[in-house]
Amino acid sequence: MEFRDSFFVTLVILLTSTSSKILCYAIVCYKCDSISLEACATSLNVTELPYENCPSASLQCTMSIVDSITYRGCSSTTPSIGATYSKKCNTNLCNVGVYPPGRMKCYQCSDVSCASSPQGIPHPCLYHQEVDQCYLDIRSATEVYRGCRSDTNHTMANTAIYCDYNGCNEDSAFGKLKCAYCDSKLSLGCKRDLMTPSNITQFEMCEMDMPLNGNNSCFLYRNVDHVVRGCSDRHITNEIKLNMKRVTNCTNKDFCNTGNLPLQQCLQCNSELGNDNCRYLPTSVSKSVCGAAEASSCYAQEFVNWHVQRGCARAPQRNDVNRQYECDDRDDCNATPFIRCYKCSTESNKDCGTWQKPGFLQIEECQQQGANCLIAKFKNGVTERGCENEHFNCSLSTVVDCQQCQGSFCNRNTYPTARLLCYQCGSESNDCSKVLAQVPLPCPQSELEPVNGGKSECFEYFNNPLNRAVRGCASNSTEYYRCMLQSKSGCRLCSTDGCNNQMSRLASD
């Protein structure tokens, strides 16, 4: 720099003319752009930059940023229109240094050594952007890139790591992590160690590379009675892949997956031994700590005689098991009852809606423990009852009205509850005088009745061929039409509960 200052002195040229004398000054400036010369934007070494003698019209040097490109040169020839930054100075070679001063500085490399923590100082980014970032792009153990996000000559992978302060991409691309490996099906002590309060001690060690942008981790897999701990790069079995929601991962320290499982607490009872609450009211049975160190789950079994047994660990093998389940999602998880629901459809049994003969309805044993019982009405007018499942539930698009409840046989009673009540007699050999002495019955729903609710009516008329009164609901289409075929005064219609008991002509019934 001293050499250049001594060599490029300000020239004073005296021009003589017939009319006047003019003094003109020339200046020397660095001349470059970062498109053709990267050092124009990034280098702190001035020996890399070319320079030029400015024409007499330029008495200043300039630095400017236009469309993220850095320009240096004489003020009269350096682009500055539309510049986001521009600076002028008036001494030789003054347009030097990183510009603007706040330009992001990142470590930049792409060779084999790029995986290790870089040495030296970070380099200014080639392209200037108001908001820029450094990146660390790890593709493999031998392919690692570092640089500025504003770089256009590198396409980042989706797993690239970004940061937003100078030199922040300095971390080593890889680390090491040690984990505990064990499988409760292969050895004891994988679930908990009764001699140490916090961690298991019976395990093998596994170690793996930990790329900063990778997914490797220590893991703990717990699925009912099966527990596996290990390194994610080698111990994820097909069983675990199918149950990834059961996996807990950690990377915060070596052997982070060694924590003891909490002591399991379950309901432990048997209705065959006289504890009826085990079957009918399991929530009233107190949970207790399982005695076995290897117990990590609870079970509940229902036998063909409807007795129930609940306990710790795996369910015992019996030939008379009707239904059973195992669980580990919470203490006392085996308190969930076995549910039975009424199952029927008005397509085959009108009593499914009117609830006149519930003793003849089918009973369904729900396969999902704790399932809801449902009563659902469909767009085609059919009403069904049963256990909630993926094929029968309130969210189906064909369901227009739905009622769900919790507890065995809770899907009882007339549905919809607002059914019209009418006296129904005479069409068969039943005696209307006896029927009128009782309460009216809910009307069945006709397949012709509109889903959104049609006109519900009771009717009564005298059937001359039968020589007796006939009463019923409009949803009984056959008798209703016979009533409508009577003379105007011969068929009486009404629409309130029990209203079809008024015709004086029928008093003799």
Q: Is the pLDDT of residue 39 over 90?
A: no
Domain boundary among 152, 172, 192: 172
Domain boundaries, position 437? 421-494
Nearest 10 degrees: Cα torsion 331, 332, 334, 340:
-130
490 and 436 within one domain: yes
**Residue 110 one-letter amino acid:** S
Give the torsion sign (CA, 340, 346, 349, 354).
positive
304 and 346 within one domain: no
* 20 domain residue, yes or no: no
Mean pLDDT of 467-490: 82
- The span from the CA of 26 to the CA of 59, in Å, is 6
DSSP state of 481: H
Ordered DSSP codes for 371-400: PPEEEEEETTS-EEEEE-BTTBSTT-TTEE
Domain boundary among 405, 436, 455: 405
Nearest 10 degrees: Cα torsion 134, 137, 138, 139:
-170
pLDDT confidence of residue 10: 37
pLDDT confidence of residue 94: 92
Structure tokens at 148: 């500025």
pLDDT band at residue 5 under the 50/70/90 scheme: very low
221 and 194 within one domain: yes
Nearest 10 degrees: Cα torsion 260, 266, 272, 278:
-170
Structure tokens at 312: 């710790």
Neighbours of 236 (CB within 10 A): 16
Give the SS3 label for residue 506.
helix
Q: Is the pLDDT of residue 508 over 50?
A: no
Under a CB-based contact definition with an 8 Å cutoff, are residues 414 and 355 in contact?
Answer: yes
* 16 domain residue, yes or no: no
Q: Is the pLDDT of residue 227 over 70?
A: yes
- The span from the CA of 84 to the CA of 268, in Å, is 76
Domain boundary among 145, 172, 199: 172
* 255 domain residue, yes or no: no
Q: Is the pLDDT of residue 327 over 90?
A: yes
pLDDT confidence of residue 140: 84
- The span from the CA of 338 to the CA of 192, in Å, is 31
38 and 56 within one domain: yes
Under a CB-based contact definition with an 8 Å cutoff, are residues 99 and 73 in contact?
Answer: no
3-state helix/strand/coil string of 24-51: EECCEEECEECCCCCHHHHCCCHHHCCE
pLDDT in tens, 151-191: 888 888 888 999 999 999 998 888 889 999 999 999 999 99
- The span from the CA of 49 to the CA of 61, in Å, is 14
pLDDT band at residue 325 under the 50/70/90 scheme: very high
Q: Which of 3-7, 100-104, 475-479 is the least confident region? A: 3-7
Q: If you search the block for the tokens 């098991």, which residue do you land on?
A: 321
pLDDT, mean over the chain: 86
49 and 38 within one domain: yes
Under a CB-based contact definition with an 8 Å cutoff, are residues 10 and 26 in contact?
Answer: yes
* 13 domain residue, yes or no: no
**Residue 209 one-letter amino acid:** D
Mean pLDDT of 315-341: 92
The enclosing H or E element of 6 equals helix 2-7
Neighbours of 283 (CB within 10 A): 10
Q: Is the pLDDT of residue 66 over 50?
A: yes
- The span from the CA of 184 to the CA of 206, in Å, is 17
* 507 domain residue, yes or no: no
Helices (H), ranges, 84-242: 238-241
Cα angle, residue 53 at apex, residues 49 and 59 outer, rounded to 5° = 110
CA contacts within 13 A on the Cβ side of 64: 20
Question: Can you give the pTM of this predicted structure?
Answer: 0.56
pLDDT confidence of residue 446: 62
Q: Residue 495 — φ and ψ, nearest 5°?
A: -135, 25
Mean pLDDT of 18-23: 40
Cα angle, residue 175 at apex, residues 172 and 181 outer, rounded to 5° = 170
Mean pLDDT of 291-295: 86
* 429 domain residue, yes or no: yes
Mean pLDDT of 134-143: 89
* 163 domain residue, yes or no: yes
* 467 domain residue, yes or no: yes
Q: Is the pLDDT of residue 15 over 70?
A: no
**Residue 31 one-letter amino acid:** K
- Number of compact structural domains in the chain: 6
Neighbours of 389 (CB within 10 A): 14
Mean pLDDT of 89-118: 89
pLDDT confidence of residue 43: 66
Burial annotation 195-221 (CB, 10 A radius, 16+ → b, else e): eeeeebeebeebebebbeebebbbbbb
Give the torsion sign (CA, 157, 163, 166, 172).
negative
More confident residue, 486 or 287: 287
pLDDT confidence of residue 19: 36
Cα angle, residue 394 at apex, residues 388 and 396 outer, rounded to 5° = 105
